Amino acid sequence: MSTLAENYPGEIKSILAKYPPDQKRSAVMALIYLAQREGGYVTKQALREIAEICEISTTDVASLVGFYSLYYDQPGGKYRLQVCTDLPCALRGAEQFLENLCENLGIKVGETTADGLLTVEHVMCLAACDKAPMFQVQSGEGLAYYENQTAESALELVGRLRRREAGKDGR
């Protein structure tokens, strides 16, 4: 397995450059995102490598992965569909939306579709309360918001993601 240093030398350098030279630890959060880019979660090897770069212990890095909700130590779907059902969203039908979505995908909240493409999760407020129901899609490539959603529009997106992956396989 190749290392972060081999895969992303430029990225690591520019992340470290943001902080004073004696504060390498500040780079840890961005490095964990970098480690998730490929597989969607942080491997044990990446934990050790990040610890080395930041000059902290592997346990320190692992505790951050556990503390912050956008980090994962287990693989999930390639795309994580994260639906907000907090109070303002719930008042605009987000709970029903999540239920419909899961029903249509044939999975429960927290589960991954059989093809490994999607995990549906329920998350805390995403600062888009006026445009509920809404969700974000997290993948190795980053995060994107989808607002004013219906079950139909969400399933359309799922269809697009499926076609996109199928296209990649066909290459």
Binding site for other proteins (CB under 8 A): 18, 20, 23, 25-30, 32-33, 54, 56, 60, 63-64, 67-71, 86-88, 90-92, 123-132, 136, 142-145
Residue closer to other proteins (CB basis): 26 or 104: 26
Contacts of 89 (CB under 8 A, 6+ apart): 125, 129, 132, 133, 134
- Shortest reach from residue 52's CB to other proteins, in Å: 14
Residue 118 is inside which H or E element, if any? strand 118-123
Is 119:77 a contact under the CB 8 Å cutoff? yes
- Shortest reach from residue 89's CB to other proteins, in Å: 8
- Shortest reach from residue 64's CB to other proteins, in Å: 7
Residue closer to other proteins (CB basis): 130 or 152: 130
Residue closer to other proteins (CB basis): 32 or 101: 32
Take residue 144 and report the two structure tokens written for it. Answer: 């994107």
Helix (H, G, I), strand (E, B) or coil at 82: strand
88: cis peptide before it, omega within 30°?
Answer: no
Residue closer to other proteins (CB basis): 12 or 128: 128
- Shortest reach from residue 141's CB to other proteins, in Å: 9
Gap between the Cα atoms of 164 and 141, Å rounded: 14
